[in-house]
Amino acid sequence: MLLIAQVLFIIVLALATWLFSKNIVQIRRNILLGVEEDLTDQPQKRWRNLLLLAFGQKKMFRNPLVAVLHFIVYAGFIIINIEVLEIILDGILGTHRLFREPLGSFYRFVINFFEFFAIGVIAACAIFLIRRNVIKLKRFISKDLDGWPRSDANYILIAEITLMSLFLIMNATDPTVHNDPFVVSGIISPLFSGVSTETLHTIERTAWWIHIIGILAFLNYLPYSKHLHILLAFPNAYYARLEPMGKLDNMPSVQNEVKYAMEPETAPTGESQPTKFGAKDVMDLSWKNLLDAYACTECGRCTAACPANMTGKLLSPRKIMMDTRDRLDEVGKNIKKNGQFVPDNKSLLYDFITEEELRACTTCQACVQECPVSISPLDIIVQLRRSLIMEESKAPQEWNTMFSNIENNFAPWKFNPDERDEWTKD
């Protein structure tokens, strides 16, 4: 019987690991569809960002109360995962509480510590559910989240509460700790006082199995969920651009073209390669933009801070990130099905993100400032704008006038360049 359980456990574990790795490889492949960009300079600053922004969740502390709750869930998740190590080893080896003997009294301390975290996680997740579904904070009821994304968020919170409860039930019903219960699960163990030892054991085993299968299922849910941020926030912080937020990326191809026009003697001989300007689809974006899309947890802090969005315009930086991920998933499936990307007459620009959304951006960088996981929606917006203007000459009439004024009069308005210093005459 025990051997069957062990074999079953190993099969479940292997299957879950295989499925997860397969999905991660797929996501990595999708991210690498993006344009290459070297983001490995200044490793010291990058490690600092990783520590402060990802591990330390520095930006979350712009709202301290939520930050503390989120930190409990996050720390609880990481710390209680140490317990998962024991559970997995028990499952493989057919042992029970493998670490109890070697750790001695320290084991009790550790499990008690985990139990306090479990209660903390349950409480924090309950508050988060209330914020989303009862208080209905504006950024959570936004139409960006209609459908799957809203359920996704709730499923995750419910799953966390369930997993933590199973962990506590498992401890409360364990006959081998019955005489000397742990602090938190000891409080609920009287609930099972009338139950025979045999039934207790069955409840404990059931909770144990559901708990570990739940964790493995949760792991495999991540690639389909906004919750992937628990993994990708780390590389995203490391590879975050280190330049000032207001600096736009240079386009060396355009820089050179202007230079060759001004100084024809510097132009290389021979036909130049045709270049595409800006981004129309996900493959035209940088791999970092695509990593951003998978790292986005759809919290909506960007959109809540967006001046265009808060005054009722169509633009929502969160939607820009969600659209990028949706389109990238679609392209990924296309490649998986056909072996390579087969044009589907769709593109990120137009089919997912409209001109009107792009036109509303003031490039104020509030979205970049707010993002707790170092995402830049602005960078994507600017690249799509570049495609609109440079590939398709699509600009509102007023912008075309502004462009021609700059070109001909060296100012965005139609003034005589000779009158540039008229202000000194008064």
Partner 1 sequence: MKVPTMAELAAEGKTPEILFWVGCAGSYDQRAQKITRAFATILNHCGVSYAILGKEEMCTGDPARRAGNEFLFQMMAYQNIKVLNGYGIKKIVTICPHGFNIFKNEYPELGGNYEVLHHTVFLQQLIDEGRVVFSEDNALKGKKITYHDSCYLGRSNGVYEAPRKVLEAFNAEVVEMARNRSNGLCCGAGGAQFFKEEEKGEKRINVERSDEAMGTGATVIASACPYCNTMLTDGVKNREKENTVQVLDIAELVAQSLQSKNNSK
Residues 142-170 as b or e (16 or more Cβ within 10 Å = b): bebbeeeebebbeebbebbbbbbbbbbbb
Distances (CA, A) of 354 to 117, 178, 250, 323, 346: 45, 62, 24, 11, 13
Rounded-to-integer distance, Cα 300 and Cα 179, Å: 48
Taking contact as CB under 8 A, which single stretch among the options 92-100, 228-236, 293-301, 385-393 is the one that binds partner 1?
Answer: 385-393
Please report, for the chain, how many H helices and E strands are present, in that order. 19, 0
Query: By CB under 8 A, is residue 390 in contact with partner 1?
Result: yes
DSSP, residue by residue, 273-323: PP---S-SSGGGSBHHHHHHHHH-----HHHHH-HHHHTT-S--HHHHHHH
**Binding string, residues 291-320; x marks residues near partner 1 by CB under 8 A:** --------------x-xx-xxxxxx-----
- Locus of tokens 């926030």: 233
Give the three-class secondary structure for 173: coil
Asked if 265 interacts with partner 1 (CB under 8 A), we say no
The two three-digit tokens of residue 336, written as one number = 């998986």
By rule CB under 8 A, what string of x and - marks binding of each residue 226-255 to partner 1? -----------------xxxxxx-xx--xx
Residue 415 one-letter amino acid: F
Complex with partner 1: residue 6 or 363, whichever CB lies closer? 363
What are the structure tokens assigned to 109, written together?
A: 């301390």
**350 binding partner 1? (CB under 8 A):** no
Site string for partner 1, 49-68 (x = CB under 8 A): -------------x------
Stretches 165-173, 211-219, 232-240, 395-403: which one binds partner 1 (CB under 8 A)? Answer: 395-403
Closer by beta carbon to partner 1, 143 or else 423: 423
Cβ proximity to partner 1, 28 vs 259, nearer residue: 259
- Residue whose CB is less far from partner 1, 194 or 244: 244
- State the chain's maximal CA–CA distance in angstroms: 99
Say if CB 388 and CB 278 are below 8 A apart. Answer: yes
Q: Residue 190 or residue 246: which is nearer to partner 1 going by CB? A: 246
Say whether residue 366 binds partner 1 (CB under 8 A): yes
Q: Give the shortest CB-346-to-partner 1 separation in angstroms.
A: 21
Pick the closer one to partner 1 by CB: 154 or 400. 400
| Least separation in angstroms between CB 406 and partner 1 | 5
Which residue ranges make up the site for partner 1 (CB under 8 A)? 62, 243-248, 250-251, 254-255, 257-259, 262, 277-278, 305, 307-308, 310-315, 356, 359-366, 368-369, 382, 385-390, 395-396, 398-399, 401-403, 406-407, 410-413, 415, 417-424, 426
